[in-house]
Chains A and B, each alone.
Chain A
């Protein structure tokens, strides 16, 4: 099996996570350091083992030239959805759940090129479902904002 270029990033990320947690562990009281340290050593060992396996694969079979992981990636669509989701998270607490959900659904569906009629049907259905299931049935008090 060829070595994947993206796996270099995976190894770096795992080493970084291990190092970050290790740096935090040594700041803990000595009595509670053992267990996290044990896991950090295991994670470090496994990552190193994977790194060796990667190097062996690269020598034996070569390196995958194309990035297959993101072959059909649509950057505008993906990051558009991600930004809308983050804005939705920020809005929920300030303008209330129902208003922000209404805006999020309409904007997202139109952004994803859904026609107006299905957009309206989907928005009303989801809001109704949430109201019936969470507000009426489960009695969850959803965030209220400046509107209601």
Chain B
């Protein structure tokens, strides 16, 4: 216990190093900027910045990625409040009350509420990260080859269902990713597989290039296919950016409730910030003493949504870091960053060798919340102007960053070719409701699963019974089944929450009779 506290303390000291602090500031500012641009997403931002972290120390690299993640989730609220366009889906519920406050002449108050609640949501989520992550990681000590195989299957079934309109299509995407992960030298015999005579593919498909292509380059194509329209003028923030003591007291219980909701949603693989924001918003309305304010610019509504979506960040890192199961696209990219640094999720992150790095990252994650509050409050007006940046400017600029980012990995033009190919693949997949996150995760988990399966079969001399030989295996098989079925429940939950919050059925877009005033 004392040792753990000592390592935690050392982590904080390490996080306070000037380079780490500098990277936190840069990462948070970049994240907010990406988040407030309606065409860009948190996953895309993290993927785009991934190559820049290669030469950094592992903890510094992870801090940058974590800062972009947190910043982007908060950044989405700026455009949601000022131009009624959520920068990311995680801020969709914030737009409801936030924009009403702007119309009432209170954009400053709305932005302060969003920033203040995001800060508390994110900060409180670090508590669960500190306490649950090491405990859950210990569980994986019982894992052997067969268990690792099932764990990778579980990770795939979970991600396949996330953000897919069809579970089967999600699973098909995962299987396609698994097939692509077999390109390269066979991990056991070293014989070439599907390399088509090109030695470039000996080490398989470069995961970072695939990540940049699937998340960032594909987004460029999505932007390029749509008619470019001028964005609405951001409302000038003329009122004071603050809340009175009574108002802060009023939103305190809302923040705590939303923190719990967001944290649980984050820990649950398969659910993400977009669900949490609506659940946080709905719960704040249910418990509010001022229900009449909802739909007319309620600060409780903004606080409920923003505290919940930022509370997801810390929670979602728990299954990612301990089990290697990212619950959503952003954490899948973050896990890619972890693996690229030569680290494996699980108990090894908390052993003597890596604990210092892990706890520095955790401490950095705590400090990022403070930077998010500071940068958010000071820079809101500037970020609001950035949110108006036209897609016409974003398209070529992001393309250049995708090119230089993928080239920087091995200084090989082939990496750009792979990135561009995955960009086109990602674009087509998104157009036809397939799941790009499942492909990425399959590329990461595929080799782990294959190694686990083949080692297990080697130990059992080819008998598949070894895959069903332990209680942990059966638990993981049961979780795989739950993983396949959970999207049905999650989709219903998201639809219900969105329907209750907006009064519009997300499926048929017909208004439903609710007590919310949408005028």
Contacts and interface: CB of A to CB of B under 8 A. Distances in A.
Contacts of B413: 89, 92-93, 143
Contacts of B55: 138-139
Contacts of A70: 225, 431
Given A72-B227, A134-B408, A142-B404, A114 B392 contact: yes
Interface string B51-78: 0101100000000000000000000000
Interface string B402-419: 011001100101001100
Interface in A26-77: 28-29, 31-32, 35-36, 39-40, 42-43, 46-47, 49-50, 53, 69-70, 72-74, 77
Q: Tell me the interface secondary structure of chain A in the complex.
A: helix
B193 interface: yes
B183 to A, nearest CB: 10
B442 to A, nearest CB: 9
Contact of A69 (B175, B399, B432): B432
A130 B172 contact: no
A136 interface: no
Given A36-B179, A112-B228, A50 B191 contact: no
Interface in B293-336: none
Interface string B183-226: 00010110101100000000000000000000000001100111
Contact of A143 (B225, B407, B431, B454): B407
Given A130-B404, A142-B407, A122 B395 contact: no
B213 to A, nearest CB: 12
Given A43-B175, A72-B226, A81-B224, A122 B191 contact: no
Interface of B: 52, 54-55, 166, 168-169, 171-172, 175-176, 178-179, 182, 186, 188-189, 191, 193-194, 220-221, 224-228, 390, 392-393, 395-397, 399-401, 403-404, 407-408, 411, 413, 416-417, 420, 431-432, 434, 450, 453-454
Given A39-B178, A126-B401, 9 more contacts: A18-B179, A43-B172, A43-B179, A53-B168, A89-B417, A105-B396, A109-B392, A114-B390, A122-B397
Contacts of A93: 413
Interface in A83-114: 84-86, 88-89, 92-93, 97, 101, 104-105, 108-109, 112-114
Interface of A: 6-7, 9-10, 14, 17-18, 21, 24, 28-29, 31-32, 35-36, 39-40, 42-43, 46-47, 49-50, 53, 69-70, 72-74, 77-78, 81-82, 84-86, 88-89, 92-93, 97, 101, 104-105, 108-109, 112-114, 118, 122, 126, 130, 133-134, 138-143
Contacts of B453: 35
13 contacts: A21-B179, A32-B193, A35-B182, A43-B175, A43-B176, A74-B224, A92-B413, A92-B416, A101-B400, A108-B396, A130-B400, A134-B52, A142-B404
A78 B221 contact: yes
Contacts of A140: 404, 407-408, 411
A6 B432 CA distance: 7
Contact of B172 (A32, A46, A72, A114): A46
B332 to A, nearest CB: 19
Contacts of A109: 392-393, 396
A105 B420 contact: no
A85 B427 CA distance: 14
A47 B228 CA distance: 36
Contacts of A130: 400-401, 404
A126 B225 contact: no
Contacts of B393: 109, 112, 114, 118, 122
A105 B434 CA distance: 31
A74 B186 contact: no
A70 B434 CA distance: 15
Nearest to B423: A85
A17 B228 CA distance: 34
A80 B54 CA distance: 33
A69 B224 CA distance: 14
A39 B397 contact: no
B360 to A, nearest CB: 21
A46 B225 contact: no
Contacts of A142: 404, 407
Contact of B432 (A7, A82, A88, A108): A7
B407 A126 contact: no
A138 B52 contact: yes
A72 B225 contact: yes
Nearest to B225: A78
Contact of B175 (A46, A81, A101, A108): A46
A17 B188 CA distance: 25
B178 A28 contact: no
A36 B450 CA distance: 10
A31 B224 contact: no
Contacts of A97: 404, 407
Closest 7 CB pairs of A and B: A108-B396, A112-B392, A81-B224, A43-B175, A78-B225, A140-B408, A32-B186
Given A43-B179, A101-B400, A108 B395 contact: yes
B152 to A, nearest CB: 12
A124 B308 CA distance: 39
B410 to A, nearest CB: 10
B362 to A, nearest CB: 26
A97 B403 CA distance: 10
A50 B172 contact: yes
A21 B228 CA distance: 39
Contacts of A14: 172, 176
Given A78-B225, A81-B224, A112-B395, A28 B191 contact: yes
Contacts of A92: 403, 407, 413, 416
Nearest to A108: B396
